[in-house]
Amino acid sequence: VQLQASGGGLVQAGGSLRLSCAASGSISSINAMAWYRPAPGKERDLVAYIMRDGSTKYADSVKDRFVISSDNDKNTVYLQMNSLKPADTAVYYCMMLLIPEGEKDADDYWGRGTQVTVSS
């Protein structure tokens, strides 16, 4: 199973970007999908997650600006980022808690990350 993230880039403050992350390989089920980014003192800090039932949670710093969504048929998670700030500049990593075909237990899989740079 591999995760491929895309959609990062350079944008001015106040602008928008949409990140995508698609999982490929033989997957039995995906329990949760999430986006992370580094934070002071943390290698990776949660930005947002979405559960299989559609429930979501956001970090306080992005609430009301970012929207996480998923296309379960395509094994893809999205992060719509609006009203971007220079403080949002980071490498964004996608993560999926999933069960590969033929296995019983879920494990977390990570994408390589996509760079988001917000200029002031």
Distances (CA, A) of 6 to 51, 103, 107: 21, 28, 22
Residue-level pLDDT at 97: 98
- Taking the C-alpha atoms of residue 74 and residue 38, their distance in angstroms, rounded to an integer, is 27
Residue-level pLDDT at 27: 96
Residues 65-111: pLDDT tens digits? 999 999 999 999 999 999 999 999 999 999 999 999 999 999 999 99
CB 83 within 8 A of CB 65: yes
Residues 28-71: pLDDT tens digits? 999 999 999 999 899 999 999 999 999 999 999 999 999 999 99
pLDDT band at 22 (very low <50, low <70, confident <90, very high): very high
